[in-house]
Amino acid sequence: MTRIRVAAAVLNQTPLDWEGNRRNILAAVEVARTAGASILCLPELCISGYGCEDEFHAPGLHATAMKVLEEILPSTRGMIVALGLPVLHKHALFNCACLAADGRLAGFVAKRFLAADGLHYEPRWFKPWPQGVRDAVRIGGQDVPIGDLVFDCGGVKVGFEICEDAWVAKRPGADLSLQGVDIILNPSASHFAFGKHEIRKRFVTEGSRAFGVSYVYANLLGNEAGRVIYDGGALIASAGRLLASGPRFSFAPVKVTSTVIDVTATRMDRARTGSFQPELGSGPTATACEFQFPDIEPEAARPSPADWESSPDLKNEEFTRAIALGLFDYLRKSRSQGFVVSLSGGADSSAVSCLVALMVELASAELTGKGFADMLAHIPDLGKAGSPKERTGRLLHCVYQASVNSSEATRGSAKTVSEALGARMSWFDISQMAEAYVSGMEKVIGRKLTWETDDITLQNIQARVRGPGAWLLANVENALLLATSNRSEAAVGYATMDGDTCGGLSPIAGIDKAFLLQWLRWLEKTGPVGPGPIPALAVVNALAPTAELRPQENAQTDEKDLMPYPVLDAIERAAIRDKQMPVEVFRTIRAQFPKYSGGEMVIWVERFFRMWCRNQWKRERYAPSFHVDDENLDPKTWCRFPILSGGFVRELAELRAFAGISRNQP
């Protein structure tokens, strides 16, 4: 019998943080060694960091990555370790996994399929390696194999699928299976998106079954470079069974998952498969690397998902934990000393404030109070805070900025929420500042500004006057100002630039308003496993979303200004995600929302397209936002659109003509 303990590590790396990345790698190697693992798979590009962007084009980056690899090699004695780094070979850059065996370089496997959709831009930096091609690269005075390699380590064959390789139809795993590979290692940098972890589990377990192998999947963890959040979630499967799974959304820098696989058993499973036909004769030769595996005892499979992963509210749980981890890492890596939120008492700012408090509670529960303070050691006196609520008070400062159009309801809501979270709360009155700008402009233009003639102007000045105060508070406290705009507002530009968009980070700009409203109701009544509900949100959930920028007698609400949020979000998905033209969008949403008239739908579809085109410049200027949904509108990570365009004039005319003909038809 050939039983081997294998391990997969998830690491919270940072681009170009050579010392920090090396420290995490060495820690993972030591944890795996202590667990008795002979083979350890680390994430994709874990030495340099995955999100180096155009810095991958810097010659010094490749040289430093290779130096760090050489520094790490001695720690791999007695083990087989897969490490990711960029390799420059024959004037081309390749995304590689290096296999180190017993302290020596065995070779580099180069990625065959590069991720090029959505937020991925790998072909900008890397070249795909052609199937079946092998070469040698000169490292430290010796020729080291590079390319489409299989390794024979002490009689056990090891191959690679690197992240995207496993997501394509023509997976390299099929070829590896025909070459008699026993173990496939998958070093990945697979970003979090709703529902994506289930896809990973399927391709890992199904890959292990279809290829007749054991499959080891490692991933990045945390907010690596600012926008993208990695959820970790190491996976190990064999012959179609999931043997072990690691935690997701951990606040720890390193997590290692290990289990025992039986190579002899998987070989016999493959031998019993009638359709399996190995490559015979002149197939490619495996790269030999000497290694002696210890004799170990069997171990029962133990996939151990967290309690929250079986929740019927999985999307709510994932959203909470993804944003909490994103905020924690952004705070830690930017070395900011806390957060400032302009808390209006409405849904968006309340959601952002709650997410900060949940970050504190979730991280404190995992790391303990001391571990939490140690991870954020750059923040003075944080260790003196004895409870999660006290830590929230140290890290979160909310400010309510009232105008003449603000209501007692929103003021009371802001007070209730801030007290429930334990946040510090300050109160500004911006009425005089707004009036000073208005009266000054009236002198310039020689007339009065009125709501009848200058509605948007008078709304915007109130929002903009709030910006400097919030920025000033953040600067005084060396804190990070969080913007509170959501994705639905971004779609139609329902936000004031340099007003409610002020901030260094926009944590909810990737999520739509309909989901946020649902999430707040869930957070009020149920809440995430562990922290539980925040009942104080009842005051927020009782209010209709409103900007409160018009006089109160106008009873302004967001949906009166725009359209019902569920309709807006459905139009956005049809128009932007599915790339439907106005007539197609109209027909799609008319079927989804039969309670609204055809005339209303025409108005809303036309309003969406006009506002979408008019406001691309705003989306270009939004503060960095977290990517949590692979239907994002962020032009820097997912959805590109011209700032200047024809505005769908022809298509909207076709919509009006079509609706005029078919409005009364079933």
Domains and CATH numbers, the chain: 3-305 (3.60.110.10), 312-554 (3.40.50.620), 563-666 (3.40.50.620)
Residue 560, number of CB atoms within 10 A of its CB? 12
Question: Residue 468 carries which side chain, given as an amino acid letter?
Answer: P
Q: Is 363 exposed, middle or buried (0-12, 13-18, 19+ CB in 10 A)?
A: buried
Average pLDDT, the chain: 94
Question: Which residue, among 186, 188, 194, 174, has the nearest Cα to 221 in the 3D structure?
Answer: 188
For residues 118 and 637, the answer to whether their CB atoms sit within 8 Å is yes
Average pLDDT over residues 475-480: 97
Task: Report the relative pairing of strands 156-160 and 151-153 from DSSP bridges.
Answer: antiparallel
Which helix (H) or strand (E) segment holds residue 185: the answer is: strand 183-187
Angstrom distance (rounded) from CA 453 to CA 441: 14
Helices (H), ranges, 215-346:
263-271, 314-334
For residues 628 and 194, the answer to whether their CB atoms sit within 8 Å is yes
Q: Is 607 exposed, middle or buried (0-12, 13-18, 19+ CB in 10 A)?
A: middle
What's the pTM value of the predicted model, to 2 decimals? 0.95
pLDDT in tens, 384-431: 999 999 999 999 999 999 988 888 999 999 999 999 999 999 999 999
Question: Which residue, among 558, 521, 557, 525, has the nearest Cα to 540 in the 3D structure?
Answer: 521
Which pLDDT value is given to residue 661?
55
For residues 139 and 105, the answer to whether their CB atoms sit within 8 Å is yes
For residues 633 and 639, the answer to whether their CB atoms sit within 8 Å is yes
* One-character DSSP codes across 620-663: HHSPPB-B-STT---TTTT----SS--TTHHHHHHHHHHHHHHT
Report the Cα 324 to chain-centroid distance in Å. 11
Banded model confidence at residue 544, pLDDT cuts 50, 70, 90: confident
465 pLDDT above the threshold of 80: yes
Which pLDDT value is given to residue 270?
84
Q: Which residue has the higher pLDDT, 553 or 211?
A: 211
Angstrom distance (rounded) from CA 581 to CA 350: 35
Place of tokens 């000054």: 440
Average pLDDT over residues 14-40: 98
Give percent above pLDDT 70 in the chain.
98
CA torsion through residues 538, 542, 545, 548, sign: negative
Report the Cα 425 to chain-centroid distance in Å. 30
Which pLDDT value is given to residue 358?
98
Three-class SS of 108-173: EEECCCCCCCCCCCHHHCCCCCCCCCEEEEEECCEEEEEECCCEEECCEEEEECCHHHHCCCCCHH
Phi, psi angle pair for 439, to nearest 5°: -65, -35
Rg (CA), the chain: 28
Q: Which residue has the higher pLDDT, 298 or 614?
A: 614
274 pLDDT above the threshold of 70: no
547 pLDDT above the threshold of 80: no
Angstrom distance (rounded) from CA 121 to CA 119: 7
**Contacting residues for 118 by C-beta, under 8 A, at least 6 apart:** 630, 632, 637, 638
- Which of 229-238, 300-309, 551-560 is modeled with the greatest confidence? 229-238
555 pLDDT above the threshold of 80: no
pLDDT in tens, 62-91: 999 999 999 999 999 999 999 999 999 999
DSSP bridge pairs for 396: 339
Banded model confidence at residue 277, pLDDT cuts 50, 70, 90: confident
Task: Report the relative pairing of strands 480-482 and 339-342 from DSSP bridges.
Answer: parallel
Report the Cα 88 to chain-centroid distance in Å. 28
pLDDT in tens, 334-377: 999 999 999 999 999 999 999 999 999 999 999 999 999 999 99
Angstrom distance (rounded) from CA 320 to CA 634: 20
Which pLDDT value is given to residue 301?
80
Which pLDDT value is given to residue 647?
96
224-to-48, 331, 334, 344, 403 alpha-carbon distances in Å: 11, 12, 11, 31, 39
Region of 472 (left: φ > 0; alpha: ψ -120 to 50; beta: rest) is alpha
Q: Pick the range with the lowest mean pLDDT from 49-58, 81-90, 130-139, 655-664.
A: 655-664
Which pLDDT value is given to residue 662?
47
Which pLDDT value is given to residue 665?
44
Crossing angle of helices 314-334/347-375, nearest 10°? 60
> What are the start-end ranges of the E strands in 1-128?
3-11, 39-41, 80-89, 92-101, 104-110
pLDDT in tens, 91-141: 999 999 999 999 999 999 999 999 998 889 999 999 999 999 999 999 988
Which pLDDT value is given to residue 290?
87
Region of 466 (left: φ > 0; alpha: ψ -120 to 50; beta: rest) is alpha
Angstrom distance (rounded) from CA 448 to CA 324: 47
SS3 label, residue 503:
coil
Place of tokens 């260790």: 383
Which pLDDT value is given to residue 664?
45
Give percent above pLDDT 90 in the chain.
86
Angstrom distance (rounded) from CA 82 to CA 501: 43
Q: Pick the range with the lowest mean pLDDT from 451-455, 521-525, 628-632.
A: 628-632
Region of 194 (left: φ > 0; alpha: ψ -120 to 50; beta: rest) is beta
Q: Pick the range with the lowest mean pLDDT from 94-103, 293-302, 434-443.
A: 293-302
Which pLDDT value is given to residue 548?
67
